[in-house]
Amino acid sequence: MYPKERGGTGGIIPQADAFVLLAHARSQGIELSPDDFFRISQEAAE
């Protein structure tokens, strides 16, 4: 994982890549959901 200052995403998986990963996981029987990609703060969840 590279920080944004070094050209990375700072740990954020781009949406297009997340869709590809979810599709692959589904095809391989791997448990993975969109919730695994996005952190929601406690305040936002309420």
pLDDT given at position 23: 96
Residue 3 covered by a domain: no
Tell me what pLDDT residue 41 has: 62
Residue 1 lies in a domain: no
Domain coverage including residue 20: 10-45
Q: What confidence score (pLDDT) does residue 43 get? A: 59
34 has pLDDT over 60: yes
Arithmetic mean of pLDDT over the chain: 83
The predicted structure's pLDDT at residue 14: 84
Classify residue 24: in a domain, yes or no: yes
Local confidence band at 5 (pLDDT 50, 70, 90 cut-offs)? confident
Please check whether residue 10 is in contact with residue 3, taking contact to mean a CB–CB distance below 8 angstroms. Answer: yes
In a domain, 39, yes or no: yes
pLDDT for the residue 37: 80
| Domain assignment present for 2 | no
The total number of structural domains in the chain stands at 1
Instruction: At 28, give phi and psi (nearest 5°).
Output: -100, 5
Give how far the C-alpha of residue 25 lies from the chain's centroid of Cα atoms, to the nearest Å: 13
Write out the two tokens for 46: 């309420």
**Residue, of 43 and 35, whose pLDDT is higher:** 35
Does residue 23 form part of some domain?
Answer: yes
Residue 25 in any domain: the answer is yes
